[in-house]
Structure 1
């Protein structure tokens, strides 16, 4: 499953990162991240992959559809 814009915003909120910090961690431009998170533009799959990797490295766990009580996709923090 590919990370959604909603998951990206929620993941950033969980780890208290602003867009600039995530863009820097992923090695992409902030404009690319902003366009992705607002749903204005769909970046290349490789871009979504580096964003997701940066968030995972920071402790985010991505939940696919069906893993949550309501059946939707989501995020949570990794257990210490």
Structure 2
């Protein structure tokens, strides 16, 4: 399950504002702010976390245990 740390890290990696992530994920800015304000697994629906994860992955973020990194663009998936 995606953690608030991973959301913050992923957003920082792609240099998106919270508002940009909200738009890309199709959720409210308030939802992003609430998720990022807690530690650990946020209290939100799996659907919401999935939308955030897909948006960040689409921008090149790869989620790894306990963190996030930019996907290596030199390798194919």
Same fold flag (TM > 0.5): yes
Q: Look up the match of 1:52.
A: 53
TM-score normalised by L of structure 1: 0.84
Q: How many residues align?
A: 71
Unmatched segments (≥5 aa) in structure 2: none
Q: Runs in 1 of length 4+ with deviation above 3 angstroms?
A: none
Q: Look up the match of 1:32.
A: 31
TM-score normalised by L of structure 2: 0.87
Q: Which of 72, 75, 80 is equivalent to 2:68?
A: 75
- Give the root-mean-square deviation of aligned CA atoms: 1.3
SS of the residue aligned with 1:28? Answer: coil
Unmatched segments (≥5 aa) in structure 1: 65-72
Deviation at 1:24, TM superposition (A): 0.1
